[in-house]
């Protein structure tokens, strides 16, 4: 070989090397670009998955994205049962058979895949159960030719539908703790023509694995949020039930108020005409109002039990009328003894003795009736209480008034059984509700809960409590809750201090309150016109209370 030939050969080899290098660089570039594209796609999917709050929609997105990635004709998403013993069908899709089941279309009722056999051994013959139990990925080019798994179910499905299941990729979904929370099964990857079924490539297997991890994180986040929400709601209901339990008479008050509040709010939402046509509470706003309703009386946790349902005027931890009964008996005995000592002639004075006893009996009966608080006290009745109180009895050799000042004050309560101090204690529960709830870090979408709950005794005319807010300061939600609370209280059965009113009496009182702008007249109009009170009466009132037509 001469020098020229050698130079030529060297140049050719250099060219070939350069060409090869260029090709390698181009391949690397293409590969990197592809990888970048896939990573970007995965990131986008990850963001979309974690933003989806609806779990059914999330299930659908997971399968749809996995199918797109791998160009798979079919896909099944299984979710692990709470007891980790079976896989439940969440989504089943097969494009060529036009099958779309589960997710937003409703639950799939197919029998779940059991992870353990009857003899408690792991069910490794079912490919999805195997993946769920071992965490391994299974990639099968043709299920009919594969060994080791039982595809009888797949074959019988094919026989019924004329489908041919071929390539299959089964990937576990592991959460942040590496627990398997579901299985992703993809069926029949299609080649570039879109018709031929080809095996799932290693790349698509890797990408599906990454997608399954993203999906698992999104799913477990979604679950965690729902579990926390459930826990919070159950906790709230438990607190409400505890407060209702403080009184045997108000049991169920909070539940009934919460349900009635929601009836009214949903009716406001339904209105297409009139003053509520433009109002639409979102699902989050409805939830916020419902939680406020469940918590509205939480402040009663600090109200003494005897005040919550003080049945008689003299009741504290026991009914003081029994003390009075004893004192009257004592006065009777003392009168008798005095008469015997002074006159020493009992037989001739039996008429006088009887008269004294009859008077004492009358006076005690009057005080007994007064103590019940069922009648409004007139000025004369109050004077009579004071006159009786002036009577004396001898205690430890001293003459003492028959009734204490406190007893006179209580018996002379003009209406009901609560004295002014006790009335303030009762009223204070609304302020305590605010105090308790405003300290809780409610999430943003529930941030109005303390406001709605703590304003349930406020009135549009500014005469409510605890803050005396006026119409401009009261939201529609607060007004709804306030009206529900009043209607429930008016119609409640079996309270010791107030008789259960009939439906017509309750509606009459409510109409007076609406005229006085104590409650919202527009809302009361809706309450009446749309028959919300009738639905409530059918559900909650005793038959003898229902005295209006239409129920």
Contact residues: Fe ion, CB under 5 A: 297, 485
DSSP at 176: T
Q: How far apart are CA 231 and CA 217, in angstroms?
A: 21
DSSP state of 348: G
Angle among Cα 348, 350, 354 to the nearest 5 degrees reads 160
Q: Of 542, 545, 476, which Cα lies nearest the Cα of 504?
A: 545
Query: Which tokens hold the place of 486?
Result: 């009043």
Nearer to Fe ion, 128 or 247 (CB): 247
For the chain, what is the radius of gyration of the CA atoms? 40
In the complex, minimum distance from the CB of residue 239 to Fe ion, in angstroms, rounded to a whole number: 14
Q: Which is nearer to Fe ion, 363 or 485 (CB)?
A: 485
* Residue whose CB is less far from Fe ion, 361 or 494: 494
Q: How far is the CB of 386 from Fe ion (least distance, A)?
A: 34
Between residues 367 and 484, which has the closer beta carbon with respect to Fe ion? Answer: 484
Query: Which residues does 419 contact at the CB level (< 8 Å), separation at least 6?
Result: 313, 409, 410, 413
What's the min distance (Å) between Cβ of 308 and Fe ion?
11
- CA–CA gap between residue 19 and residue 7 (Å, rounded): 18
Helix (H, G, I), strand (E, B) or coil at 383: helix
Closest approach, Cβ 383 to Fe ion, in A, equals: 35
Count CB-CB contacts under 10 A for residue 185. Answer: 22
Phi, psi of 167 (to 5 degrees): -80, 145
CB of 408 to Fe ion, least distance (A): 30
CA-based nearest residue to 505, from 548, 476, 475: 548
Q: Which is nearer to Fe ion, 422 or 485 (CB)?
A: 485
The smaller minimum CB distance to Fe ion, of residues 86 and 244, is found at 244
Supply 392's token pair: 């004396």
Measured from the CB atom, is 166 or 456 closer to Fe ion?
A: 456
Question: For Fe ion, which is the closer residue by CB, 151 or 452?
Answer: 452
8 A C-beta contact, residue 496 and residue 309: yes
Minimum separation from the CB atom of position 249 to Fe ion (A) = 13
Q: How far is the CB of 489 from Fe ion (least distance, A)?
A: 7
214 Rama sector, left if φ>0, alpha if ψ -120 to 50, beta otherwise: alpha
- For the CB of residue 297, give the shortest distance to Fe ion in the complex, in Å: 4
């Amino acid at each position: 070989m001469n020098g020229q030939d050698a130079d030529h050969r060297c140049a050719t080899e250099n060219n070939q090397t350069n060409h090869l290098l260029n090709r390698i660089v181009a391949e690397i570039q293409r590969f990197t670009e592809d990888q970048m594209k896939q990573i970007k796609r995965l990131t986008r999917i990850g963001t979309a998955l974690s933003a989806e709050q609806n779990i059914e929609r999330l299930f659908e997105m997971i399968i749809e994205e996995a199918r797109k990635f791998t160009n798979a004709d079919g896909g099944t998403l299984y979710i692990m049962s709470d007891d980790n013993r079976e896989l439940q069908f969440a989504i089943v899709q097969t494009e060529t058979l036009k099958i779309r089941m589960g997710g937003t279309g409703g639950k799939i009722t197919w029998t779940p895949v059991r992870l353990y056999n009857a003899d408690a051994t792991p069910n490794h013959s079912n490919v999805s159960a195997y993946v769920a139990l071992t965490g391994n990925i299974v990639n099968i080019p043709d299920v009919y030719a594969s060994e080791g798994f039982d595809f009888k179910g797949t074959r019988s499905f094919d026989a019924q539908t004329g489908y041919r299941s071929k390539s299959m990729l089964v990937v576990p979904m592991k959460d942040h703790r590496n627990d398997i929370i579901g299985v992703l099964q993809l069926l029949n990857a299609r080649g570039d023509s879109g018709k031929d079924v080809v095996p799932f490539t290693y790349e698509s297997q890797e990408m599906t694995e990454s997608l399954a991890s993203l999906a698992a994180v999104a799913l477990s986040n979604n679950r965690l949020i729902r579990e926390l929400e459930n826990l919070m709601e159950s906790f709230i209901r438990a607190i409400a039930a505890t407060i209702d339990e403080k009184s045997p008479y108000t049991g169920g008050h909070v539940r009934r108020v919460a349900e009635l509040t929601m009836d009214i709010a949903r009716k406001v939402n339904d209105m297409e005409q009139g003053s509520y046509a433009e109002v639409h509470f979102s699902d989050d706003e409805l939830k916020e109002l419902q939680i406020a309703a469940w918590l509205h009386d939480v402040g009663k946790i600090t109200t003494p039990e005897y005040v919550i349902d003080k049945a008689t005027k003299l009741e504290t931890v026991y009914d003081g009328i029994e003390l009075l009964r004893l004192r009257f008996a004592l006065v009777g005995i003392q009168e008798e003894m005095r008469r015997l000592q002074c006159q020493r002639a009992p037989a001739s004075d039996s008429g006088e003795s009887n008269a004294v006893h009859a008077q004492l009996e009358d006076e005690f009966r009057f005080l007994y009736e007064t103590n019940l608080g069922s009648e409004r006290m007139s000025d004369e009745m109050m004077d009579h209480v004071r006159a009786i109180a002036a009577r004396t009895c001898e205690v430890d050799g001293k003459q003492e008034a028959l009734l204490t000042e406190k007893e006179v004050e209580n018996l002379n309560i003009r209406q009901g059984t609560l004295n002014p101090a006790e009335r303030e204690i009762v009223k204070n529960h609304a302020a305590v509700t605010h105090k308790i709830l405003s300290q809780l870090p409610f999430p943003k979408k529930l941030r109005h809960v303390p406001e709605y709950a703590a304003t349930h005794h406020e009135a549009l005319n500014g005469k409510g409590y605890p803050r005396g807010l006026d119409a401009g300061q009261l939201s529609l939600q607060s007004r709804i809750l306030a009206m529900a609370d009043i209607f429930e209280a008016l119609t409640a059965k079996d309270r010791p201090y107030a008789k259960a009113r009939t439906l017509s009496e309750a509606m009459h009182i409510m109409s007076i309150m609406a005229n006085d702008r104590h409650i919202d007249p527009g809302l009361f109009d809706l309450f009446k016109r749309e028959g919300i009170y009738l639905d409530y009466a059918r559900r909650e009132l005793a038959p003898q209370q229902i005295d209006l037509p239409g129920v």
